[in-house]
Structures are given as structure tokens and as C-alpha cells.
Amino acid sequence: MVTTRYIAAEDWPDISRRFRDLSFEQSLTYGQAAANRIGGQLKFLVVEEGAQIIAATSVRLKTIPGLGRGIAWIPSGPLVLPVSGVDPDNARLQSILTVLRTQLCDAEGHVLRLRFPGIALHDKNKMDPLAATCGYRPTDKVPSYQSFAMDLHKDHDTMLKDLMGKWRTDLRYAWKSDLSLDSGYSPDLQTRFLRLFEDIQKEKGFQPDITPEFHFALSGDDLRYDILIATKDDEDLAGIVIGSSGKVATYLFGATADAGRRLRAGFFLTWEGINLSRTRGLDWYDLGGVDFDANPAVARFKDRMNGTPIDAAGPYEARPSQPWSALVLGLEAAYGRLKGRG
């Protein structure tokens, strides 16, 4: 018998750490802030087979006032790969997906959307038909996720050898450029990174949906941030921000000044971030997403590291059979149109 059970927020960090596919989006610290940002709430579900927890997920829930139903969003979840124990087979994955749909759609009346953790490395070609048998369909209402991840179980020399030749050459050039590294998470490093990031924003004319300031305002034991800044002659040339939860580090933001590009400071910092994550005993360093169409230069930079390709299973959507499903989706579409005009 596979069942679901809600748990308290204070129990979530301990439960989520039992799964090796945990990353920052499923942390209590980040999830609570992300839910508050949209005026929603964060809830926590475990899936049990008998007395054994076989899956767990945080759910960001945004409901329609007065109706009590809305959209349940599970980013980078559910968590299904145990730190100790056997990975789920297709039958267990079907049970997990079915019981989540039964609880959130059929019992509670929400439209459910989920995208599995990229770091779980599920085969999307196999997961798509499996999800379909459980009542899910593909959706473009939330973003997909593609990336590359560096296996931190590899030693320094093996990982260096695995790099494409051009990437390795640029890294060695950076090593010869007499760069220095400042790292930590002090208010001073935050200010220095933001200065670099704001300069790049002005230069390239972009505005991220989730800003570095949003992350810098967070504080919690289950989410760690690191800022790495490359300098030369007391000048900040480049910076990156890394977020770590469970056994996974994720590159979140980066900014490189013109002088830093000439000295390949981005290569230097990426390598230092990987080394830092390895020394902490983490399993993976997620390079933070790629889009070959929208940002081909950054995508090539990450692709040439020869990491493990990530194509996260999903996003999928399941809808309740009750008539308010159409109402929820209609109101969402109307809000999107109004937001676009604004």
C-alpha cells in the first residue's frame, strides 16, 4: 500500500537529506522564500510504502481566494533516490506519481505540475510515457531544465583530462594569469559581486527573474551559499555564486568584466567552484542550466567541460476531473495576459 502523508516544515530538512537527488529548489530555506514570493504556501509530503518513506517533496501551492484550489508546483521533485537503499524501478515510480496525483489533484482539486530533479538523471524518453500512464501530460507552463553536471567523485587529474582541449587551454591560461581568489559569504563579498553583476546587466540588458539579492536575503541550515571572486592587482575581475543543498552544488550566477574575460577568469572560477564542492564531500556540481538557442556562448562554455548531460524529466501536468480545473487555468491565463501588458 503506497500512501501520502503531510509532515511539518521543521521535519523537512531531515527527511529531504535522506535523498541524494536533493538540490537547492527543494530546500526548506529556498522553498519557503519562493512560495512567499508568489503569495503562496509551502507544504511537505512524504510517500510511504508501509512504514518506509520512498519519496518526498515540497509543494508550492498558490490557491484562488475563496475557492481553496489552485496550482501545486513541484520544482526539482519529487525526491526518489535514497542515500541508502535501492533506486526505484518503473513500478515504484508509477506508484509515486499516481499517489501524488491522487492526493493533490483528485482529493484536493489542484492542477499539479512537476519537474523531476535534473541531477536524478532519469531517462526522459522513458519517463514521458511512464508519466502518461499515471495521468500526466507534458506542459510548457513552467520551464524545462537542461544542464551539465560534473561528477565530483572524479579526481582533479581525471576531470582535467576529460575537458575538451580548448577549455583546458583556457583554464591553463587563467592559471598563468596570476589571478587571486577571494571566497566566502560575507556582506563585503555580496556587495562586490553585485557590483560586477550590475555592470554586466547594464552591458547585456537582461534582468533575471530571480535575482542575486533574493538569494542573499536567505538564511538556513539546509542551504549554503558561496561567493567566489577572481582578482588581480586589487581589481575584481569576475565572480560566481554557488548554492549547495544535500550533496549537490549548483552554479547560480556569474559575472565577468572585460578585463576578466581577457584573462579567462570565468574558467578559473568555475574550476575553483568545482574544487571547493569536491573538498566538501559533495557528489555533483550542476553547471546551472543551458540554453543553446537563447545563450549559445554560455551553453558552449559548459558543454566543453564534458560533464554529464542533464535533461530533467518533465515538466508534467495533471488536472483534477472537477469543473474548477478549467476555472483555475482560465484565471492563470488571464493573469498572464494582464502581467504581459504591465
Same domain, 80 and 228: no
Q: Residue 74's domain spans which residues?
A: 2-144+313-341
Same domain, 101 and 224: no
Give yes or no for a cis peptide into 117 (omega within 30° of 0). Answer: no
Same domain, 102 and 52: yes
For 137, counting Cβ atoms within 10 Å of its Cβ (0-12 exposed, 13-18 middle, 19+ buried), the class is exposed
Q: How confident is the model at residue 335 (pLDDT cuts 50, 70, 90)?
A: low
Q: How far apart are CA 211 and CA 244, in angstroms?
A: 17
Taking only the tens place, the pLDDT of each residue in 54-94 is: 999 999 999 988 888 999 999 999 999 999 989 999 999 99
Q: How far apart are CA 10 and CA 42, in angstroms?
A: 12
Same domain, 83 and 17: yes
Weakest mean pLDDT among 60-69, 109-118, 119-128, 155-164: 60-69
pLDDT over 70 (residue 342): no
Residue pointed to by grid coordinates 519517463: 127
Give yes or no for a cis peptide into 296 (omega within 30° of 0). Answer: no
CATH number at residue 53: 3.40.630.30
Same domain, 61 and 161: no
Indicate the pTM of the whole model.
0.94
Same domain, 330 and 296: no
Taking only the tens place, the pLDDT of each residue in 124-149 is: 999 999 999 999 999 999 999 999 99
Same domain, 50 and 187: no
Same domain, 318 and 303: no
Same domain, 321 and 301: no
User: What does DSSP say about strands 52-63 and 70-75: parallel, antiparallel, or unpaired?
Assistant: antiparallel
Domain count, the chain: 2
Same domain, 191 and 281: yes
Contacts (Cβ under 8 Å, ≥6 apart) of 111: 70, 71, 72, 105, 317, 318, 319, 320, 325, 328, 329
Same domain, 239 and 286: yes
